[in-house]
Amino acid sequence: MKMRLSTQDKVMNGSLEVLLIAVAALFFIPVYYLIVTTFKSPDEATLNPLALPSHFSIDNYVVAWNAMKFPRVFLNTLIVTGTSVLGIIVFSSMAAYGLARRTHALNTFIFYLFLAGMMVPFQMGLISLYKLINGLGLMDHLLAVIVVNIGNGCVIAIFLFHSFISTSVPLELEEAAFMDGCSVQGTFWRIAFPLLKPVIATVAIVTTLNVWNDFMNPLLFLQSRENNVILLEVFRNIGQFSVDWTSLFPMLLLGVAPLLVFYLLMQKYMIKGVAAGALKG
């Protein structure tokens, strides 16, 4: 039986929709300004900042592509992001499995120690981290950024994997594997790990967004332009005393475009992971 809304409820719902549309339009203005500016000349962008360009041209994107040496910095960013995300998934899933399946007091203490790491700002250890990376001889190597990203990203990933394993991976399957003579490593990789696909997708999306948008670590540990990532290259193309927005904005869009495509492809898996965790209880 359908419930009919009163006139007052209809007016309230209509007013709320109009308000939400207005708020959405307000937040879209910076995005609109960013996009239209990439097709304008510097003079046109200054005189008519919010107007549509008189004619659309991709010359600014060509200039940005060449100035950034985009294929090189994209490859560097892809290597750093892909290796970091893979390392985070592998190491954190193994650690979370051991912590979730053993109820010893020491394991519980270690897990809470990881949770405590979530409350400590990463920036507090930058000086010690810089000295450590320099002492290991990794300065100005992509491996330095990868190692730091893995260490920093495993904290939240262990928490997510631990929660999913504890609530969504049946212990009976692992016990059956043990009875058939499967080792701990074999049980994890053959039984438990394939069941972690929803949370793996969630961790992959979250860590990819964080690593791809990371600016602090590449700025600290990468000095040569041959090892630049996208955000660092954008930063080093900004003028010292003035900024040409028609050159900067295309660089930003070129940097965020691969990430946007990745998110659009992976968002359904993230929704599945959230739904799988929400329906367990």
Domains of the chain: 7-59 (no CATH), 66-278 (1.10.3720.10)
User: What band does 166 get if pLDDT is binned at 50, 70 and 90?
Assistant: confident
281 burial class (0-12, 13-18, 19+ CB within 10 angstroms)? exposed
- Which of these, 127, 90, 278, 132, lies nearest to 216 by C-alpha position? 127
pLDDT single digits (tens) 252-268: 888 888 888 887 887 77
Q: pLDDT: is 73 or 174 the higher one?
A: 73
d(CA 203, CA 160): 8
User: What band does 82 get if pLDDT is binned at 50, 70 and 90?
Assistant: very high
Contact, 102 vs 188, CB < 8 A?
no
Question: Which one of 149-163, 167-181, 231-245, 259-273 scores highest in mean pLDDT?
Answer: 149-163
Across 140-169, b (16+ Cβ under 10 Å) vs e yields ebbebbbbbbbbbbbbbbbbbbbebbeebb
User: What band does 275 get if pLDDT is binned at 50, 70 and 90?
Assistant: low
Question: What pLDDT score does 240 carry?
Answer: 57
Contact, 221 vs 140, CB < 8 A?
yes
pTM summary value: 0.82
Number of neighbours of residue 222 by Cβ within 10 angstroms: 21
pLDDT single digits (tens) 184-218: 888 888 888 888 888 898 898 889 989 998 888 89
Across 82-105, b (16+ Cβ under 10 Å) vs e yields ebbbebbbebbbbbbbbbbbeeee
User: Given a cut of 60, is residue 280 above it in pLDDT?
Assistant: no
Helices 197-212/70-101 angle, 10° precision: 140
Contact, 204 vs 92, CB < 8 A?
no
Any idea which of 45-59, 137-151, 233-247 has the lowest mean pLDDT? 233-247
DSSP one-letter code for 24? H
- Residue 16: partners with Cβ closer than 8 Å, 6 or more residues away: none
User: What band does 278 get if pLDDT is binned at 50, 70 and 90?
Assistant: very low
Query: How much is the mean pLDDT over the chain?
Result: 83
pLDDT single digits (tens) 212-237: 988 888 988 988 888 889 988 888 87
Range list of H helices, the chain:
7-37, 42-47, 59-68, 70-101, 105-117, 126-135, 142-168, 171-179, 184-187, 197-212, 216-221, 230-236, 245-278
User: What band does 1 get if pLDDT is binned at 50, 70 and 90?
Assistant: very low
Angle at 123 between CA 120 and CA 126, to 5 degrees: 120
DSSP one-letter code for 227? G
Question: What pLDDT score does 241 carry?
Answer: 52
Percentage of the chain lying above the pLDDT 70 cut: 91
Number of neighbours of residue 205 by Cβ within 10 angstroms: 19
User: Given a cut of 50, is residue 281 above it in pLDDT?
Assistant: no
Question: What pLDDT score does 89 carry?
Answer: 94
Question: What pLDDT score does 85 carry?
Answer: 94
CA dihedral 205, 207, 210, 212 (to 10 degrees): -80
